[in-house]
Chains A and B, each alone.
Chain A
Amino acid sequence: MDSRDIYHEMIVDYSRNPANFGRLENPDVTHHDANPLCGDSIDMDLKIDDSVISDVKFHGRGCAICMACSSVLTEITKGKTLDDARSISKNDVLEELGLERLQAIRIKCALLSLKTLKMALYKYITEHMTEDADSLKDEAAGLY
C-alpha cells in the first residue's frame, strides 16, 4: 500500500485525537499487551453490565495505525453483547480504515488492540461465566 493510501485523513486524525482514549474507573476487566519488537503498548478497560459492554477505553503508546485501529475497535465494541464482541474479526477493524492490504509487518500494529480485547474478554468470561473461552485465547494468539 502507498503511504498516501495508508495515512489518509481519518488515520492521521485518530493518531492525534484517538477515540475512547483514557482509563475507566473501576473497570470490570482490564488487559495489557505490547508488541515487543516495535514498542506499541496498550491497555484496554471494559465495563460490562448484563453481558453487554457498556463502556470501553484504551490508553498507551503506539503508531498512527495502532492508535487509529484501537479507536475504531473501541467504537465498534461499545454497546455490543459479549457474544457479538467475541466474533469481531480482524477485517471488521481493517475494512473500517481501508487497511485490508496493509503489509504483514504493520498488521501487528493494526491488530494489537483486537488481540488485547480478545484476551480481556477471555479473562472476563473465564472468571465470571461458565462457558468455555479457550477459543478466544487461541484466536488472540493466532491473530498475527
Chain B
Amino acid sequence: MQSSWSDIRHDFPILSRTVRDGRPLVYLDNAATTQKPNQVVDTITDYYRSHNANAHRAVYALAEESTKMYESARDKVAGFINARDRSEIIFVRGTTEAINMVAYAWGRANVGKGDVVVTTEYEHHSNIVPWQLLTQEKGASLRYILMDDEGCLMLDTLDDILDEGRTKLVAFSMMSNVLGTITDVEQITSRCRRAGVPTLVDGAQAVPHMRVDVESLGCDFFAFSGHKMMGPTGVGVLWARKSMLEKMRPFHGGGDMIREVHKYESTWNDLPYKFEAGTPNIADVVGLGAAVDYLERIGMGNVRRHERELTAYALAKMADVPGLTVYGPRDPDRRGGVISFNFADVHPHDVAQIMDEDGVAIRSGHHCAQVLMERLDVAATSRASFYVYNTKGEVDVLVGALRKVAEVFKLG
C-alpha cells in the first residue's frame, strides 16, 4: 500500500482545488460518485491517444491492442471479485443497466403470474423499479424484506415470504446507499438456497469499499458500477453464475453478440459476448481496470479499515451536536462510510447549501430511495459519504459547518 493515507490525495488533483471563493474542497459525496486518480485518467487518455480501435473485430495491430486491453480489464475485474470464470463478467453501463438486464433477460422468462419477487425497504430505485415493471407486466407481486428502526433488515420477514413458496428471486443491496447498513449477504443467500430461490445483490456501494468475493457470498447475480470505485462513469459490471447466463436469452440484439445471423433467425455468441451487443465502452472499461489496479494496490482490507475509522470518528463527533438525528446502525462494524442525518427542523437542502459555502460537498434529498424515506418518515436527508482519500480533518470541517447551519437557522 501507499506510504500514508495523505499521499493518496496527491493522486487526485481535484481534491486540491478550491471552490466558492477559495475554500478548499471537502468532497463528501462519494456514495454518489467518487473522484478519479491520475492513474485512471491517464489510462483512459493513453488508450485514446495511442491504442484506440474497435475491439473484437479487425486483424490489424491497433485492434489487437484495444481488444487485449479490454479483455485484460475483464480479467482484473474477475480477480477483484473472485469470479470463478472470466466469462461471468459482463460489462454494462452501470448497476442500473445490470439489474434491468436481469429483470428483462432472466425475469421475463422465469417470473409468471402469481409469482413473487422480493426486495428490501432500503433499496435504491434501481433495485425497485425494474422489479415493479417486471411484476406488473407478469401479474406477479413485489414484496419487501422489512427493516428495523436501526436500519437493519429483519430476516424473519423474508422467511415468512419464502415459506409461501412463490418467490422467484430475492434482490437486495449489500450496503444501503443512505444508511450505510452492511447487509449480512450470506444469511440471505443461504436461506434462499435452501428454498431454491436465486438471489441478486446490488453491490454498487459495497465493491468500492470492502473485499467482495462473489463465490463465498453465494448469490447468483451481482451488479456494480465503475464510477463509485474511482473508475469512469458509463461502465459497470454484471456478474452472474455461468449456469444462469447460459440459460438466459440475450438482452440487447446487435453486433458482437451473435454467432451467425440469417434472414429470420440467429445464433448467439459465447459468454460473455452474448450479453455485450454493439461496440463496447472500451476506453472506460480499460479505465475501470486501472481503478481495480489502484484499489488492489491499497488493499481492500485497508480501504475498509480507514473508512471504518473515519465513520466511527464522525459518528462520535456528530453525537455531540445538539439537534442532530443520525440514521442507520450505531455500530461502525455494521455500516460503511455513509452517514445520513437531519438537523433539527432545517431542510436538508438548506443544510447542504450552507455547507457548500464552506466548500463541503454533501448530498441532500431522497438519494433515489423514496421507499426508505417513507419508512423513516422523512421527506429527505442530508448525507455525507467517505472514501479512502478523506481525512479526519475533513470530518472536522463538516461538523464545523453544522455549527454555521445552527447559527443561520437560530437553533438553540
A residues sitting closer than 8 Å to B (CB atoms) are 2-4, 6-7, 12, 15-16, 37-41, 61-66, 106, 109
Contacts and interface: CB of A to CB of B under 8 A. Distances in A.
A65 B352 CA distance: 13
Interface of B: 345-350, 353-354, 357, 364-366, 370, 373, 379-380, 404, 408-410
A131 B295 CA distance: 64
Contacts of A3: 353-354, 357, 404, 408
Contacts of A15: 345, 347, 350, 409
Contact of B349 (A4, A12, A63): A63
A65 B409 CA distance: 13
A3 B366 CA distance: 22
Contacts of A37: 365
A91 to B, nearest CB: 21
A6 B346 CA distance: 14
B347 A62 contact: yes
Contacts, number: 53
18 contacts: A3-B408, A6-B353, A7-B350, A7-B409, A15-B345, A15-B350, A16-B345, A37-B365, A38-B366, A38-B380, A39-B380, A40-B349, A40-B379, A62-B347, A63-B347, A64-B346, A64-B350, A106-B353
B373 A63 contact: no
Contact of A109 (B349, B354, B373): B349
Contact of A39 (B350, B379, B410): B379
A61 B354 CA distance: 19
Nearest to B356: A3
Nearest to B366: A39
A96 B243 CA distance: 65
Contacts of B410: 12
A37 to B, nearest CB: 6
Given A6-B353, A64-B346, A106-B349, A12 B408 contact: yes
A56 to B, nearest CB: 22
A12 B410 CA distance: 9
Contact of B354 (A7, A38, A41, A66): A7
Contacts of A12: 408-410
Given A7-B354, A62-B347, A39 B373 contact: yes
A13 to B, nearest CB: 10
Given A37-B365, A63-B347, A64-B409, 11 more contacts: A3-B353, A7-B350, A7-B408, A12-B409, A38-B349, A38-B364, A39-B365, A39-B370, A62-B347, A64-B346, A109-B349
Contacts of A109: 349
B357 A2 contact: yes
A111 to B, nearest CB: 14
- Closest 10 A/B residue pairs (Cβ): A63-B347, A63-B349, A61-B379, A39-B380, A3-B354, A39-B366, A64-B350, A7-B408, A38-B365, A39-B379
Contacts of A66: 347
Contacts of A64: 346-347, 349-350, 409
A65 B349 contact: yes
Residue of B347, B364, B373 with most partner-chain A CB within 10 A: B347
Contacts of A63: 347-350
B367 to A, nearest CB: 10
A106 B357 CA distance: 14
